[in-house]
Amino acid sequence: MGYKRFELNVTVRVALLALSSMLLGIMLVETSFRATSFLVGLAILAQVGGLLRAVTRTNREVARFLGAIAHSDFTQTFALGRQGAGFEELGTAINQVMEKFRRSRATSEQQADYLHAMLNHVPVALAAVYEDGRVELLNNFAHRLLGPEELSRRTTDGQLLTDALCKLAPGSRSLIRVAAGSSVGPQQLTVTATRLILGGESRLLLSLQNIAGDLEATEVRAWQDLVRVLTHEMMNSLTPIASLTRTAQGVLTDLREKAADQPELAEEIADAEMAVDTVARRSGSLLRFVERYRQFTSVPKPQLSRMKVKEITERLQRLMAPAAQDHGIGLEVLVLPPQLELQADTDMVEQVLINLLKNAVEAMRGMEPRRGGHRIRLTAHLDEGGHVVINVGDNGPGIPSEVAEKIFIPFYTTKREGSGVGLSLARQVMLAHGGSINMSPDPDGGTVFTLRF
């Protein structure tokens, strides 16, 4: 209906223009009314202008509509009803199309926001490797996993993490060991690579997961199960041996009294007593040995509470400073910020730190004096990821690399009187707190143990 009105409007304008032109021609030829002819000419020009406006008005609005679509500007509106007959339906149709575009764009944006939120909240780090060697981290979990250094970190064999990821093949699953960073400890990353082609561009989609904590927890459980079985079997055997040796000692004592007037028999009884005493001492030592190792399987659940780290370090300084000074070792304590707090089991954390401080003192005991003196540093701070980090470092002889790989293995020790349980228990305590413990060389010489909560 609107199109017919527009057509009628144009037809009437053309007809009037034709009649006006004929009238102007007649007046110029047949009459001498020059002023009237001039007015008719002006009327013809006005009619031509009106016709052009009527024809080009639609073109302008369609061009504006197409320009809005080209620039994704769906905020414009088209009110054409006031421009004459035939334009109202055109304006309505254009506005309906714009409304559909607006709804489609709003739906697309909602879906994109949903996918973006899901990508950032999925507990798996995602990254993309492009054909030009560029590596891009795709979600927040990837940034948190790798820490502030991110892709500039190095693997344990010295190469950049970026280079290690670029070498992965599509469909592969690899284990990459990453060295400790400023705010994250050493990591063991399982990386799965999938080929993805989007917009004609090929890339590798990588999923990264740190399984270091899971591996440590699994290893600790395996050791606990083994120790539990061994101690049970050893106790079953040692308990009757210890009981029988006590009985044998009593019998030999009675025989010695009865054979007091028989020197030859008394000498034999003395030999038997010596043998039984030896068995009794060794069985007692083994029982104490087993009891000491049974604690490895019985780490209690942490009783978490809010505590000030500075209060713990001050107590440890008062406790350990005298023993360190006896060996010419200085103990430095620093907590930044001083009001730093930690949610943990106070007793368990203190015991771990005491063991680490004792180990540091024993490592430097008897060392030759050095420039600047021997020192132990106990420090605490917040790393860039917002985690509480406690360091126990010394400038002692350090730990050889072949020993460093074994120090957290239960019962492994290089000390003559050590049990090899202390560091294993420290790792269990940190795992129970959802944290980690690791060792690294001190740049100034010595060793640093890092507790990250």
Q: What pLDDT, in 10s, does the model give residues 198-247?
A: 777 888 888 888 877 666 666 667 666 666 666 656 666 667 777 777 77
Please give the angle made by the CA atoms of 355, 359 and 363, to the nearest 5 degrees. 175
The CATH code belonging to domain 122-210 is 3.30.450.20
- Residues 55, 47: Cα–Cα separation, whole Å: 12
Query: Which residues of the chain have a pLDDT value below 70?
Result: 1-10, 54-55, 57-58, 74, 77-91, 181-185, 213-220, 222-238, 259-261, 264, 285, 288-299, 366-372, 410-421
Q: Domain-by-domain residue ranges, the chain?
A: 2-113, 122-210, 215-297, 305-452
Instruction: Take residue 278 and report the two structure tokens written for it.
Output: 């030896």
Which residues have a Cβ under 8 Å from the Cβ of 16 and sit 6 or more positions away?
A: 47
Measured between alpha carbons, how far is 230 from 225 in angstroms, rounded to an integer?
A: 9
Q: Are the beta carbons of 281 and 211 closer than 8 angstroms? A: no
Closest to 75 in 3D by CA, of 83, 87, 65? 65
pLDDT tens by residue, 57-74: 667 777 777 777 777 776
Return the CATH number of the domain spanning residue range 305-452: 3.30.565.10
Contact 335, 309 (CB under 8 A): yes
CA-to-CA separations, 165 to 119, 136, 200, 226, in angstroms, rounded: 20, 11, 22, 37
pTM for the full predicted model: 0.54
User: Could you give the 3-state DSSP secondary structure of residue 423?
Assistant: helix
Identify whether the C-beta of residue 6 lies closer than 8 Å to the C-beta of residue 86.
yes
The whole-angstrom separation of Cα 393 and Cα 446 is: 7
Neighbours of 387 (CB within 10 A): 16
